[in-house]
Amino acid sequence: MADSPTRTASDTSVVTPPVGAAIHPRPAIAWAAFAACLIAVFMQMVDTTIVNIALPDLARDLAATSSDQLLVLTVYTLAFACTLMAGSRLGERVGRHRMFVGALAAFTIASVLCGTATGPTELIVLRGVQGVSAACASAQTIAVIATMFPRARHPLVFGVYGATAGIAAICGPVVGGALISADVAGLGWRVVFLVNMPFGVIACLVAWRCLPVMRAVRDVPLDLRGAVLSSSGLFALIYPLAVGREKGWPAWTWVLMGAAVILVATFLVHERSLLDRGGQPLLRVDLFRSRAFAVGCVLSIAFFGVFGAFFFAMSVTAQFGLGYSALRTGLITLPFALGAAAGSVGSSLIVPRLGARTLALGMAVFAVAVAWTAALLDPSSAALDLPPLIPALVLGGVGVGLFVAPLQATIVSGTTEQTVGSASGMVPTVQQIGASVGLAVVGVFFFAQVAGAAPSAATQSGERLTASLRTTPVPTEVAPFVVGSFTDCARRQLSSTRPEVAPPGCSTRDAGTGPRARVLATAGPALRDAADHAAARAFLAAFTTTLWTIAATALVLAAACLALRRTPAEPVSPAGPRPRAA
C-alpha cells in the first residue's frame, strides 16, 4: 500500500500516517528530533541579533554605507516574515520532514556564503536567502513538534521551544561579541555566519534520521494570490520604515506604506472569501475565534517589537555612542541572558498556578526592570557604569523568560490538529513582523532623540573643550574659534541622518596643511575627547528616553495579557467553538 512504512521496522519515526494525525514515536527518537528543531531555531533566532555586534567591523571591511548596514539587519527579518505563511503551506504540499531538512540545509549554505561575501550588495542578497530558508524551516517546526508529542506534553515542549527562541535572540550579542573578539582563524566578523555550519550539518543529519515523515498532500492548493498579497503588503510596510529616515522620507516611502494598508486589507478579504467558499487559505482567519490565539498574536507582535527595540538601542548606544568593543557590548547583555534563562526555567513552576496570566507577570517585571535601568542612567556623565545596572538587567531577563517560555503554548492552545498547520506558520510570522517593525520604528525614534539631544550635548562638550584647551599650546585668542567650530560640527553631525559620519568641512582631513591644520593637530587630543563626550551624552540621552518609552509600552502589554483566560482555551474546531458539556 502507498501509505505503508518504507523503512525498517526498527525506525519507528518514519511512519507516514494520515494527514493531521498525531505521531508519537519512541521517546528517544522524539527527543532527538526535538533537539534538532531546537538547534535550528537557536541558529535562526541568534541571526536576528548577532549581526548588530558585527556592524562596525563589517562596515569597515566591506565599505558598507549606513543604508547598507540597516538593510543587512532588516532584510533577514523582512524575508523571514514574508515567507513564513507560504512556507507552512509548502511544507504541507511537499512534506514537512523534507521541507524542514531542505530549508535547514539551504540556511546553512547561505550562512557560509554570507561569511565569504566580498561586498555589501552580495551580503544583503545572501541575508535575504538566509531569511527565506530560515522561514521555510521554522514554519514546519511547531506543526512537527505538535504531532510528535501528545497534547499533555505541549506545555513542556512548547515552553522549551519558546525559551530557546527567546534566549537565542538575547544571546546573539554575547555570542557575536565573543566570536569577533576571539578572531577565530583571523576571520573577524565573518565568523558570526560561518559558525552556523557545524551546527547546521548536525541538525540536518539528526532531523533526516529522526523527524517523522508526515505524508505530503500533493493536491493542497498553494494560494498563490494570498502569498503574493501578504508578502507584498509586509514588504511595502517594513522596507520604507527601514530606509525612510536615511533617505529623508521621500514621497515613495509614504506611497509604499499606504499601499501596504491596501494590500494587507485585500489579503484578509481574500482569505476570508476563500475560507467561506470551502477553499484552503494561507491564513485561516477562523483561528482568531480563539481568544488565546488572537490576543497571543497581538501580544507577540508587540513584544518582539519592544524586544528588538531594546537590544537595538542598547547596541547602538554602546558601540556608536560610547565606542565599546564588540565583546564589551555583548557582555552588557550577559546579565539579561542569564536572567532570561532563570525566568524560563521558573515559568514551569508558575504556569501551573497562574496559567496564561504568567505572561502578565513577566511583562510587568520587564517593565519595572527597564524603568529601573532608565532611572540609573545619567547622560551628563557620558559614561555607562555597568555594576549598578546588573540587578536591573537580570530582573529584565527574568521578566522576558516568564513571558516568552509559555507564549507559544498559549497561542496554539486554542487550535486543533486541522488548524495547527496554519497556526504554525502564523506564530513565527507575527514574531518576525514585530521584530522587523520594532527595529524600523525604534531606528526612527532613537535617532530623532539623538538629534534632539545634539544641541545640549554639543554645548556641554564645547565647555569641556574650552577647559581642556587651556592646558595645550593652542593660543588663547584662537581657542574660541576652535570651540565654536567644534560645537557647530558636533551639533550638525549628531543631528544628521548619519551621525557616525562627519559633515563636510568638519573632518580633520579637510584642514589641509596651513595654520588651521597646525592648530587642529595641537588640539587633536582635546578635540577627540570632546567629540567622544558629545556622542556619549547624546546617545545616552536618547537611550534613556527610549527605555522610558519601552517601559511604558511593556506596562500596557502587561495589562493586555489579562485578557487571556487563566487556563488554556478550548480548542476551536473548523466549524466554530466546541460546545461545552453540561
Question: 448-471 burial by CB neighbour count: b if 16+ within 10 A, else e?
Answer: ebbbbbbebbbebbbebbbebbee
Judging by beta carbons within 10 Å of its beta carbon (0-12, 13-18, 19+), is residue 309 exposed, middle or buried?
Answer: buried
Least confident of 44-48, 462-466, 511-515: 511-515
Query: What is the pLDDT at residue 484?
Result: 86
Torsion over CA: 484, 490, 496, 502 (sign):
positive
Task: Cell 546588573: give the residue.
Answer: 390
State residue 23's pLDDT score: 53
Choose the weakest-confidence range: 27-41, 244-258, 264-278, 432-446.
432-446
For 338-368, what is each residue's pLDDT tens digit? 888 888 888 878 878 887 788 889 999 999 9
Q: What is the pLDDT at residue 240?
A: 83
- Per DSSP, what are the bridge partners of residue 573? 576
What is d(CA 232, CA 129) in angstroms, rounded to the nearest whole number?
17
Q: How far apart are CA 72 and CA 52, in angstroms?
A: 9
Q: Which residue has the higher pLDDT, 582 or 270?
A: 270
Q: 84-113, pLDDT tens digit by residue?
A: 777 877 887 888 888 899 999 999 999 999
Q: Cα(399)–Cα(347) distance, rounded to whole angstroms?
A: 10
User: Residue 464 has what pLDDT?
Assistant: 86
- The three-state DSSP-derived secondary structure of 277-317 is CCCCCCCCHHHHHCHHHHHHHHHHHHHHHHHHHHHHHHHHH
d(CA 4, CA 580): 37
- State the chain's mean pLDDT as an integer: 80
SS3 letters for 422-475?
HHHHHHHHHHHHHHHHHHHHHHHHHHHHHHHHHHHHHHHHHHHHHHHHCCCCCC
The answer to whether the beta carbons of residues 214 and 147 sit under 8 Å apart is yes
Residue appearing with cell numbers 537565542: 168
DSSP string, 112-139: HHHHT--SHHHHHHHHHHHHHHHHHHHH
Across 419-423, 432-436, 445-449, least confident range: 419-423
Is the per-residue pLDDT at 271 higher than 50?
Answer: yes
Amino acid letter, 563: A
- pLDDT reading at 441 higher than 50: yes
Angstrom distance (rounded) from CA 573 to CA 554: 32
DSSP 559: H
Closest to 344 (Cα-Cα) out of 314, 365, 325, 317: 365
Query: Do the Cβ atoms of 449 and 545 come closer than 8 Å?
Result: yes
pLDDT tens digits for range 142-151: 778 877 887 7
3-state secondary structure at position 572: strand
pLDDT at 140 over 60: yes
Average pLDDT over residues 395-412: 83
SS3 of residue 555 by DSSP: helix
Give the separation between CA 394 and CA 382, rounded to whole angstroms. 23
Residue with cell 546579565: 335
Degrees (nearest 5) of the Cα angle 96, 100, 103? 135
The phi, psi pair for 572, rounded to 5°, reads -95, 125
In this prediction, residues 513-524 reach a mean pLDDT of 70
Given the C-alpha cell 554575547, which residue does it identify?
Answer: 174
- Distance between CA atoms of residues 157 and 426, nearest Å: 18
pLDDT, position 497:
72
Question: At residue 439, what is the residue type?
Answer: L
Select from 205, 209, 212, 206 the least CA-distant residue to 35.
206
pLDDT band at 132 (very low <50, low <70, confident <90, very high): very high
Instruction: Quickly state the pLDDT bin for 256 (edges 50, 70, 90).
Output: very high
Quote the pLDDT of residue 277.
84
- The strand pair at 572-573 and 576-577 is best described as antiparallel
Per-residue 3-state assignment (H helix, E strand, C coil) for 228-243:
HHHHHHHHHHHHHHHH
Residue type, 283: L
pTM for the complete prediction? Answer: 0.76
Helix (H) or strand (E) holding 576: strand 576-577
Give the residue from 408, 422, 425 showing the smallest Cα distance to 83: 425
CA distance 267 to 231: 10
Per the DSSP assignment, residues forming a β-bridge with 572 are 577
- pLDDT for residue 504 is more than 50: yes
Long-range residue pairs from 558-563, CB within 8 A, at least 24 positions apart, any chain: 558/360, 558/361, 558/363, 558/364, 558/367, 559/360, 560/295, 560/298, 560/299, 560/302, 561/295, 561/299, 561/356, 561/357, 561/359, 561/360, 561/363, 562/357, 562/360, 563/291, 563/295
